[in-house]
Amino acid sequence: MAKKALITGITGQDGAYLSQFLLSKGYEVFGVIRRSSHRGVEDHRLRWLGISGEVHLLDGDLGDLSSLLRIVQEVRPDEIYNLAAQSFVASSWRQPLLTGQVTALGVTNILEAMRLEAPGARFYQASSSEMYGLIQQPMQNESTPFYPRSPYAVAKLYGHWITVNYRESFGLHASSGILFNHESPLRGVEFVTRKVTSTVARIKLGRTDVLRLGNIDAKRDWGHARDYVRAMWLMLQQDKPDDYVVATGVTTTVRDMCRIAFDHVGLDMEKHLVIDPALFRPAEVEVLLGDSSKARRALGWQPEIDLDTMIREMVDSDLVRVGQEYYE
Ligand code: GDP
């Protein structure tokens, strides 16, 4: 019998790559999809990977416990991956309550559905390096104190601790992956890497002249989503649930990441980059750098794709999409 995986957030970047990975392992993949008037377009990432016909999409919402109970009862999953969230930091100041409802309380809803209907399943919570915020140690690992700096990060912190709490309170196999930023051609265009690569492609093809950015001195530890979904799966294959940092151990400024993209298409960054004060955030996370030695040791995981290779892959894929007038 094929193993069954249930993914919330299946239409996002990580949901799409995780689905592809699990299908390649012979899993039957089910995804929770929010009812909306955009039906037909929200599975574009699954279509881009050519797998939209191979996953089962079920109507539900992380805010609606009854829908999650019904889905878990129907599917009887072996593994549940909670990837759904309001995941864009900048929006979290504009929609702080929605962010709390989905990104924080939504985790309790899916944990309750699992506890009541499938307590033997294994659970993965998508935690975030943003929880470290105002960093308390130069390299962040599983024991580094958290200091969230946005409504998003505050909500993710709740999600992390409720996962730990359900593990300790009810003995659930619930693990939390503290993933540092991870990108790909399927990253949303609002995030800085994809904003850069899609705009560089448009500049190269003569559709625009400028790239507007905020704080380009910020530093991030950027990995590739394809590498990171493998770590999620590995966590659920362990006998015991636990928490793991997943990171590359290399940090780079937004400015240097941007230069890789411009250099790749032979353009001079200085001629196109404009700093826009409106894009600075009310509170900034200046630098993140992850220490993933626990995941490397216990899971045998390591990243395979470096930042240069990833940014070049993203620019190339955006050149194709801009050529096709396909922007997402
Ligand atoms: P985050 O780490 O989850 O917030 O991922 P983002 O990709 O949204 O942002 C990464 C960093 O890039 C943050 O420090 C932002 O302040 C910085 N940044 C600078 N300019 C921009 C911009 O125009 N858009 C975004 N999204 N981030 C920017």
Nearest to 10 by CA among 78, 64, 56: 56
Residue whose tokens read 């009862």: 73
Tell me the average pLDDT of the chain.
96
DSSP labels for 5-59? EEEETTTSHHHHHHHHHHHHTT-EEEEEE---TTTTTTTHHHHHTT-GGGSEEEE
In a domain, 61, yes or no: yes
pLDDT reported for residue 124: 99
Please check whether residues 204 and 279 belong to one and the same domain.
Answer: yes
> Are 98 and 174 contained in the same domain?
yes
Are 62 and 96 part of one and the same domain? yes
Q: Domain check: are 22 and 113 in the same one?
A: yes
**pLDDT for 45-66, tens place per residue?**
999 999 999 999 999 999 999 9
**Residue 214: predicted pLDDT:** 98
Distances (CA, A) of 43 to 38, 46, 169, 238: 10, 5, 36, 31
Predicted local confidence at residue 294, as pLDDT:
98
Residues 69, 109 within the same domain: yes
User: Once rounded to an integer, what is the mean pLDDT over residues 162-170?
Assistant: 98
Q: Is there an atom of ligand 1 within 6 Å of 63 CB?
A: no
Q: Is residue 297 in some structural domain?
A: no
Using a 6 Å cutoff on CB, does residue 238 contact ligand 1? no
* pLDDT higher than threshold 90 for residue 326: no
**Is the CB of 196 inside a 6 Å radius of any atom of ligand 1?**
no
Q: Which of 181, 184, 192, 220 to mutate to test the pocket of ligand 1 (most atoms within 8 A of CB)?
A: 192
Over residues 99-121, mean pLDDT:
98
Asked whether residue 77 falls in the same domain as residue 121, the answer is yes
Q: Is the pLDDT confidence value at 258 over 90?
A: yes
Which residues constitute the domain of residue 9?
Answer: 4-183+223-246
Give the chain's domain count. Answer: 2
**Amino acid 151: pLDDT:** 98
Residue 42 clears pLDDT 90, i.e. is over it: no
| 205-245 residue pLDDT tens | 999 999 999 999 999 999 999 999 999 999 999 999 999 99
User: Measured in angstroms, how far is the CA atom of residue 60 from the centroid of ligand 1?
Assistant: 30
Residue 79 pLDDT: 99
Section 156-162 average pLDDT: 98
Q: Are 158 and 101 contacting, i.e. CB atoms less than 8 angstroms apart? A: no
**Claim to verify: residue 177 and residue 267 sit in the same structural domain:** no
CA of 1 to the centre of ligand 1 (A): 43
User: Is the domain of 266 the same as that of 147?
Assistant: no
Q: Are residues 20 and 162 in the same domain?
A: yes
> Pairing state of beta strands 223-224 and 182-183?
parallel
E strand segments, 44-110: 56-59, 79-82
Would you state the pLDDT for residue 293? Answer: 98
Distance CA 230, CA 324 (A): 31
Confidence of residue 328 (pLDDT cuts 50, 70, 90): low
Closest CA to 75 of 51, 53, 62, 56: 56
The model's pTM is 0.97
Does the structure show a pLDDT above 80 at 38?
Answer: no
Give the CA-trace dihedral at 223, 224, 227, 228, to 10 degrees: 70
Cα-to-centroid distance, 282 and ligand 1 (Å) = 12
The per-residue pLDDT for 190 is 96
Q: Determine the Cα–Cα distance for residues 82 and 163; give it in Å rounded to an integer.
A: 11
Residue 36 confidence (pLDDT):
77
Q: Residue 207's domain is classified under what CATH number?
A: 3.90.25.10
User: Does residue 68 line the site of ligand 1, with CB under 6 A?
Assistant: no
